[in-house]
Structure 1
Amino acid sequence: MRKVSIVGLAAAVLTGVVFAASTLMSDSGSAGAVAKGADAGQGQFPYSVKLTMTGIPRTDGTTYDSSCSAGLVNPRYIVTAGHCFHDAARNPVSGPPQYKSTKATIGVVDLTTGGGTTVDVVDVQQSPKNDIAVAKLSRPVTASKYLHIGQAKPTVGQQLVIAGWGDTDANGTASPKLQWGKFQVSAVQSTELNAHGVWPEADTSACPHDSGAPYFSLPETGDATLVAVEHDGPDCPHTTDETIERVDVAADWINKQIAK
């Protein structure tokens, strides 16, 4: 859901107060992928999560469907964007999702082939520092690898990988395949990063419904480290910066949530 994603506003939770940041999403519930990205191979990103929400309420009593992306950090918890979970007034909220259904699909890279595991999201906690949420699954999910929670402050020039289920352009063009690409950090803010696409194209970028998609570092050996999650950016594809939420500033809080 980014840009035209699950919330009508990209909201940031800052010291417990929610500030509306920018319009993020439409009422479209289409699933798709990172613009100008590459197809992910089976098992390449076992911690990638597709969130599907149905029956999202509006203040006029109507509902709509949408989706987000997320990262699996242990068998029972995922990390995503806080604005993916909101009330009818589009304010990010903690507690059980206020939607008819919220499901997490894990372990699949092509939705047309089936497979993977789909479970309900039963609880959400909003970060007190930025637009990050920790969501609890209804039951544990086994994966070959999980994302480690990044503790180190990111640096300008650092390269990160994104894997997301967003659309492939700003018009809502959907793809059933998980997409990925490489980004480079261009600026480090107090709770956010600016980053732009560098591979496979200069205009590789996040799109609607990529909200919450994990940005992570890939070491030579061992598991990937979650560095940030997708927040917002210009219409995709584009060559300018995305705004992404730093994980390190909320790392202690995240670890407390997933240890419960």
Structure 2
Amino acid sequence: MQANDVALVTGANKGIGREIVRQLALQGYTVFLGARDVERGQAAVAELLASPGESGGDIRFVRLDVTDGDSVRAAVGLIESRVGRLDVLVNNAGIVVEWGVRAEEVTAAQVREVFEVNVFGVVALTSACVPLLRRSGNPRIVNMSSGLGSLGLLSDPASPFSARELLAYSASKAALNALTLGYADALRADGIKVNATSPGLVRTDGNAAATFPRGERGPAEGAVVPVGLATLPADGPTGVFRGPDALDQTIPW
């Protein structure tokens, strides 16, 4: 890691995103905590900076709604004006809208809503950040995916993922996995590593209404592999899907 590496984490005012911010800051990163809501985002930054042992890095709030082109441009422009480059982009922002809805009852509007954040938002922000990432000596992109986006797991009757009816979310994460591979290939010549990860089933607000067990993992556990991918050395892998328990644990695409 070069001195004062700069990271941007989206959807980071709570849950896994906030924990990723915390762990990167502890490693000395300058971290931009991206959130749609200004009050919540600023409160998260203040709380993190006030916590004992959190003074290893520099945490800054940036308003960022990945579904809003003006917001994306403003956030990237702010980062460019303040620090001039980006070393790490963590595409963490994501939504689920179809809890308790059977697959055949999911509407096109619901799928579209999920794709706006989980897929199109990733494309918009990644495209905007690539010029800043090219200025880094060791640029990394981490896409927060899920086992529910793994076609290998979804097609395996023995896998618990195959029985979870989250049609829009699963489709969006499968699309995100395809984006990961496409970006990894396209940006390889620039030295930009692009990888996907699953944090596992973590207790967050996002799965509070889950019809299946919410899991025993806390945000700190869920953030370990994403942070590992975010801090890869220059000779680290690109185009891999790792987690949820270890950095060398491979998830089938």
State whether TM-score is above 0.5: no
Q: Which has the larger radius of gyration?
A: 2
More relative contact order, 1 or 2 (CA 8 Å, 6+ apart): 1
Higher helix share: 2
TM-score (norm 2): 0.28
TM-score (norm 1): 0.28
